[in-house]
Amino acid sequence: MSNLEYYWGDASVENNQYDSSEMETDSSEIACESNDEEEHTLIQLDDESDKVKLQAGNQLIFQLEQFNRQSTASVPLTPLADGTNSLKATGSIVLDNNVFIISLIGDTKNGKSFLTNHLLPFTAMSHPFVLDEEQGGGSTTANVNCYESILSISVPHASSFLLLDFEGEKGSWIPYMLRRLRKVWTAERSEKRRKAVEEYFPKLAYTLSNVIILLSRDDFSNHDYIERCYDFATRATKKLQHIPHKPILILVHNFYTGSKVGNYEELTKEFFTIHKGDAIKLRCFFEAVFCVRLPVKMKHIPTASQTVASNTCFTSQIDELNALLAKIQNKHMERCMPHSKWLELTKLILDIVSDGKAVMMHTLLRQVIVKDPG
């Protein structure tokens, strides 16, 4: 099977400046969620200078410090009693397990943070904030946020799964969490940030991920999917050389309201039947493509029985997506990097991408993995 695609919606700057105080009501709950997102920010944009730059976020700094501290400790620390690999737990060892990286991308309000929440177990120490559509305001997530998970499906030699929740691409509004921190955004600043997201984030998702999940509300028969995929892939691979393994792309039709949900094998076959050669050509960029539909998880529908039926179907499809991710992880076990090495690679890549230089993946991997023990 082959390859998938990515949806970038159009953006427009509608006013000379945005006054976020007119769009939201501040509260202690929202403030808490904003602080939590900052804590989980892996990579962020620094837009204070003339050129927007990528820089390490709090989560990347924290994780690197955890591993550096452990590598210099004379007495090894012990893992948590429940065997978890929590990055927040003070005084516990962060096991240097292999990590399987899943990036969630797509346009604003297509449900990236919503899906991240449902891929994380209920016992996870933190979940991304999801803004109700009734509140408006477009994109919620800012920057690139990292959450750790263990899939509910049991797999041999299970690695940790790191879920990267990417800021929505080409959104018409500054992300909700950023609007909270800066009350007034000029059109110039917001446009500069949008262009940086468009330039930097595809390359980060492509180079750092084993699997890229693209979410959209469009039907799989829409030919725009192919064009969007090429658009994403060409930007992601610009100045990118010698990548040893292409990521797998999972296309998710989110908030589906039809009656034919289907399983991923049927949907994937249908996708390639419809798009034929155009879909096959995507193998130049992605190793494989899978298609998954997620029905609407209803809050307000006429009867209780309809609510139960809708949400049961949603849960079933989430289980299928989990099983697919576990299957991919099992098949590509040898491609997973130790957690500490992946962090080092991330730091190197964000510096190179930010400087506009070519990313030589083979050289970077050799630099990170093959080191002089002395």
pLDDT in tens, 209-223: 999 999 988 888 888
Is residue 29 a contact partner of residue 12, using CB atoms and an 8 Å limit?
A: no
- Kindly give the interhelix angle for 112-119 and 304-331, rounded to the nearest 10 degrees: 80
- Does residue 164 register a pLDDT over 50? yes
Instruction: Output the pLDDT for position 140.
Output: 60
Distance CA 130, CA 116 (A): 10
The SS3 assignment for 341 reads helix
pLDDT reading at 29 higher than 90: no
Q: Taking the CA of residue 272 as centre, how many other CA atoms within 13 Å lie in the half-sphere pointing to its CB?
A: 17
Looking at the DSSP bridge assignments, the partners of residue 17 are 186
Digit-coded pLDDT (tens) for 331-362: 888 889 999 999 999 999 999 999 999 999 99
Report the pLDDT averaged over residues 297-303.
56
Q: How remote is the C-alpha of 103 from its chain's centroid?
A: 3
- The H or E element that residue 327 is part of is helix 304-331
pLDDT band, very low/low/confident/very high, at 168 (cuts 50, 70, 90): confident
Handedness of CA 82, 333, 55, 26 (dihedral sign): negative
- Better pLDDT: 20 or 152: 152
User: What distance lies between CA 165 and its chain's CA centroid?
Assistant: 3
pLDDT class of 136 with cuts at 50, 70, 90: very low
Instruction: Give 20's pLDDT tier (boundaries 50, 70, 90).
Output: very low
pLDDT of residue 341: 94
CA gap 207, 210 in Å, rounded: 9
Give the chain's count of helices (H) and strands (E): 10, 13
Q: Are 141 and 204 in contact (CB under 8 A)?
A: no
Question: Which pLDDT band, with edges at 50, 70 and 90, does 118 fall under?
Answer: confident
Position 282 confidence tier, pLDDT thresholds 50, 70, 90: confident
Coil, helix or strand at residue 190: helix
- Taking Cα atoms as reference points, which of 215, 91, 211 lies closest to residue 151? 211
In tens, the pLDDT along 262-275 reads 899 999 999 999 99
Cα–Cα separations (whole angstroms), residue 169 to 104, 185, 317: 11, 18, 25
How far apart CA 71 and CA 60 sit, in angstroms, is 17
Distance CA 198, CA 228 (A): 13
Work out the average pLDDT over 368-374: 65
Q: In 40-109, which residue ranges form alpha helices assigned H by DSSP? A: 58-72
Handedness of CA 28, 24, 8, 317 (dihedral sign): positive
Helix (H, G, I), strand (E, B) or coil at 149: strand
**What pLDDT digit, counting tens, does each position of 212-258 carry?**
999 988 888 888 888 888 889 999 999 999 989 999 999 998 877 77
Residue 48 identity (one-letter amino acid)? E
How, if at all, do strands 248-256 and 289-295 pair? parallel
The pTM for the full model equals: 0.78
Token output for 279? 């879909």
What is the average per-residue pLDDT within 297-321? 69
- Residue 25: the pLDDT is 44
To which H or E segment does residue 56 belong? strand 53-56
Report the distance separating Cα 61 and Cα 313, nearest Å: 40
Q: Domains of the chain (ranges plus CATH)?
A: 17-71+94-369 (3.40.50.300)
Q: What is the mean pLDDT of residues 73-101?
A: 53
- Crossing angle for the helix pair 187-208 and 224-237, to the nearest 10 degrees: 80
Residue whose C-alpha is closest to residue 317's, from 328, 305, 325, 329: 325
